[in-house]
Amino acid sequence: TPWLQGDQFDAVMNYQFRDQVFDFFVNDKTNVDQIDWGLEGLRNRHPESVNYAMFNVLGSHDTARMLTMAKNDINKVKMMALFQMTYVGAPVIYYGDEIGLQGEMDPGCRAAMPWDPAQHNQDLKAYYKRLIQLRNQYPALRRGGFRSVMRHNDNRTFAYVREDQRNKLVVAFNNHTRPQDIAVDAARVNLPDGTLRDLLTNRTFQ
């Protein structure tokens, strides 16, 4: 915090964000309330301009690889990537995480990038590309407001809204081992006509 008063750094590597994400999605150390409150606490520490510039890392040269941390669970990696790309701050992808590169702590986390496409997880790479496309397409994901609209600790489901004057995006997570319906109060989202479009599948529904 002393470095982020406007006279030194614009932002820092947000390892505290990383800890919150891994503790909820991978380590099962926290429930939905705790990740929401924890992230709110981090946002309240700094001016809004700093929060939007924070260097939101999930992998780096000093940490084990995302897929390794997630015990090879691609769905966990996808959820964390979705969270990173739709949360407040600047998402930073450590090279190779987008293709499923694995590795423990140093030197494993600093392995050379495999350039052969045959060694890439093409499904994961396409998912990352889609998330980046959506973040570029909707300014609300970059500069919009953030508010949680649903938390359910027992079901480990969580939803929030990113919004600006033009768009309102609902991001919902099922961090449970079973498929679940996720109920979100439409009044809290305040949709003009009650219609939602799934930006990952392009399906529309009420």
* Closest among 139, 135, 162, 134 to 149, alpha carbons compared: 162
Taking only the tens place, the pLDDT of each residue in 126-153 is 999 999 999 999 999 999 999 999 999 9
Q: Tell me the pLDDT band of 98, cut-offs 50, 70 and 90.
A: very high
Q: Are 132 and 85 in contact (CB under 8 A)?
A: yes
Q: State residue 190's pLDDT score.
A: 83
Q: Tell me the pLDDT band of 78, cut-offs 50, 70 and 90.
A: very high
Taking only the tens place, the pLDDT of each residue in 150-183 is 999 999 999 999 999 999 999 999 999 999 988 8
Q: State residue 183's pLDDT score.
A: 83
Q: Taking residues 92-103, what's their average pLDDT?
A: 96
Q: Are 32 and 152 in contact (CB under 8 A)?
A: yes
Q: State residue 184's pLDDT score.
A: 82
Cα separation, 85 vs 28, in Å, equals 21
Where is pLDDT greater, at 196 or 58? 58
Q: State residue 187's pLDDT score.
A: 82
**Alpha-carbon dihedral 104, 106, 108, 112, rounded to 10 degrees:** 150
Taking only the tens place, the pLDDT of each residue in 4-55 is 988 899 999 999 999 999 999 999 999 999 999 999 999 999 999 999 999 9
Q: Are 146 and 87 in contact (CB under 8 A)?
A: yes
How does the average pLDDT of the chain come out, rounded?
94
Q: Taking residues 57-62, what's their average pLDDT?
A: 95
Residue 167 CB partners (closer than 8 Å, separation 6+): 138, 139, 140, 144
Length, in residues, of the chain: 206
The pTM assigned to this predicted structure is 0.94
Q: Taking residues 72-99, what's their average pLDDT?
A: 97
